[in-house]
């Protein structure tokens, strides 16, 4: 039984502050949020017992795939239910360690495209640097959850120097994506060190940060951080909102501060069974993203990574969902629905294969023929 009586269930900020015996000022401090992440199934059960969570079962999961959720992210839950879309993304699920899961740890074969440890080079002109395996929240659908059990191997200094040496010697690379884990778990001076060394390489024209911090720990986006990041433009920022409940005043403010520093913010969602695979939820998510000036960039078909299988939908269902959305939404709301495949083929747009487009093309054939 949870500590919150049924009728009064509301895992909001007020409740969590009194639970942690903390102040509003603590809540706004990202270090407080990080330090007080819920990482033990027992604590999650005592907070949410009524959802039917069972700590014993979850411990078997967290011994393979650890859990972490900021108090802020937990406060976004809207229902006391085990299928709440926020809880589903951060609470361990016994299906993650199902013995019938035949999926691979590394379906995109990233590990074979690392010329130096943790630098993924799959496309000629851009590279992805995994600068940490730590995150504010461990998303249960993470396609890199294979790294969670051995965080920060090798340590940042060794790994980053090797990356810099490789990048400096590879003039065809013009863009570097700083990713992880979540790079924004580092303090500003460490981050600045990374950005500055990349900026020193003349052929690196564009930097990109991939971080879910605006969604799961928006207080990390401070004035100081934005002032620092601003110096390293052109810098693009990709985050990951998956559900409209994640678009709050706090997350909108974080995105706005980045935008004010001249850093465009785009969104990469993952299509997740039970979270956003209904046209109503997806449409609301995309509309609300447009409202906070965050451009939907990709909607990823969920990768077949071990421990994530229960989040996968079938691609036909995804295409049907996107078809419904295309016909209803402004172009500025529309992400590319893509399937990532190993190697340099990369992200294959699934929307291009939709029946609606084929029919449209047929209908307007005379129009296309005119230009042939």
Ligand X SMILES: *Cc1c(COP(=O)(O)O)cnc(C)c1O
Contact 203, 125 (CB under 8 A): no
Binding range to ligand X, per CB under 6 A, among 69-77, 120-128, 129-137, 356-364: 120-128
Maximum Cα–Cα distance for the chain, whole Å? 71
Residue 238 CB, nearest approach to ligand X (Å):
8
Instruction: Between 2 and 214, name the residue whose CB sits nearer to ligand X.
Output: 214
Q: How far is CA 143 from CA 93, 167, 169, in A?
A: 15, 25, 29
Q: DSSP label at 296?
A: E
Closest CA to 178 of 225, 136, 216, 131: 131
Per-residue mark of binding to ligand X, 318-347 (x: CB under 6 A): -----------------------------x
Structure tokens at 11: 């895992």
Per CB under 6 A, contacts with ligand X among 163-182 are 177
Q: Is 40 in the active site?
A: no
Q: Does 119 bind ligand X (CB under 6 A)?
A: no
Closest CA to 215 of 299, 284, 137, 293: 137
Q: Is 73 in the active site?
A: no
How far is residue 360's CA from residue 39's CA, in Å, rounded to a whole number? 50
- 160: part of which helix (H) or strand (E)? helix 156-168
Q: Which of 122, 140, 208, 220 is catalytic?
A: 122
Residue 182 CB, nearest approach to ligand X (Å):
16
Closest CA to 288 of 313, 255, 310: 255
Among 128, 164, 255, 257, indicate the residue that binds ligand X (CB under 6 A).
Answer: 128
Q: Is 295 in the active site?
A: no
How far is residue 197's CA from residue 46's CA, in Å, rounded to a whole number? 45
Residue pointed to by tokens 């993304």: 89
Size of the site for ligand X (CB under 6 A): 7
Q: Is 122 in the active site?
A: yes
Q: Does 19 bind ligand X (CB under 6 A)?
A: no
Q: Which of 65, 72, 90, 139 is catalytic?
A: 139
Contact 194, 160 (CB under 8 A): yes
Residue 211 CB, nearest approach to ligand X (Å):
14
The answer to whether the Cα torsion of 141, 288, 265, 217 is positive or negative is negative
Among 37, 118, 122, 212, indicate the residue that binds ligand X (CB under 6 A).
Answer: 122
Among 50, 126, 233, 283, indicate the residue that binds ligand X (CB under 6 A).
Answer: 126
Among 15, 19, 20, 123, indicate the residue that binds ligand X (CB under 6 A).
Answer: 123
Q: Is 358 in the active site?
A: no
Residue pointed to by tokens 């046209």: 279
Q: Does 120 bind ligand X (CB under 6 A)?
A: yes
Q: Is 347 in the active site?
A: yes
Instruction: Between 177 and 325, name the residue whose CB sits nearer to ligand X.
Output: 177
Q: DSSP label at 309?
A: G
Residue 79 CB, nearest approach to ligand X (Å):
33
Interface contacts to ligand X, rule CB under 6 A: 120, 122-123, 126, 128, 177, 347
The catalytic site residues sit at 122-123, 126, 135, 139, 142, 144, 303, 340, 347
């Amino acid at each position: 039984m949870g500590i919150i009586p049924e009728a009064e269930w509301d895992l909001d900020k007020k409740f969590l502050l009194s639970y942690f015996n903390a102040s509003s000022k603590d809540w706004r401090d990202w270090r407080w949020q990080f330090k007080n992440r819920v990482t033990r199934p027992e604590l999650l059960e005592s907070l949410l017992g009524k959802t039917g969570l069972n700590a014993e079962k979850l411990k078997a999961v967290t011994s393979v795939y650890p859990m972490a959720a900021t108090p802020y992210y937990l406060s976004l839950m809207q229902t006391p239910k085990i299928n709440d879309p926020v809880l589903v993304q951060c609470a361990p699920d016994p299906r993650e360690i199902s013995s019938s899961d035949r999926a691979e740890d590394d379906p995109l074969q990233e590990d074979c495209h690392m010329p130096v440890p943790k630098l993924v080079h799959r496309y000629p002109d851009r590279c992805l640097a995994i600068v940490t395996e730590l995150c504010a929240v461990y998303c249960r659908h993470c396609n890199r959850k294979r790294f969670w059990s051995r965080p920060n191997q090798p340590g940042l200094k060794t790994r980053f120097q090797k990356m810099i040496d490789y990048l400096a010697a590879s003039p065809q690379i013009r863009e570097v994506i700083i990713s992880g884990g979540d790079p924004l778990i580092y303090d500003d001076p460490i981050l600045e060190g990374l950005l500055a060394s990349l900026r020193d390489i003349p052929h690196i024209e564009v930097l990109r940060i991939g971080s879910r911090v605006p969604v799961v720990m928006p207080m990390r986006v401070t004035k100081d951080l934005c002032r620092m990041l601003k110096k390293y433009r052109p810098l693009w920022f990709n985050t990951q909102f998956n559900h409209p409940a994640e678009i709050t005043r706090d997350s909108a403010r974080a995105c706005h501060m980045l935008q004010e520093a001249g850093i465009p913010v785009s969104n990469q969602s993952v299509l997740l069974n039970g979270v956003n695979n209904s046209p109503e939820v997806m449409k609301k998510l995309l509309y609300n993203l447009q409202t906070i000036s965050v451009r939907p960039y990709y909607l990823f078909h969920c990768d077949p990574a071990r421990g994530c299988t229960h989040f996968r939908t079938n691609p036909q269902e995804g295409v049907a969902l996107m078809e419904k959305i295309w016909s209803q939404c402004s172009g500025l709301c529309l992400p590319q629905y893509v399937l990532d495949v190993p190697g340099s083929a990369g992200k294959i747009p699934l929307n291009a294969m939709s029946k609606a487009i084929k029919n449209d093309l047929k209908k307007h054939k005379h129009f296309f023929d005119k230009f042939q």
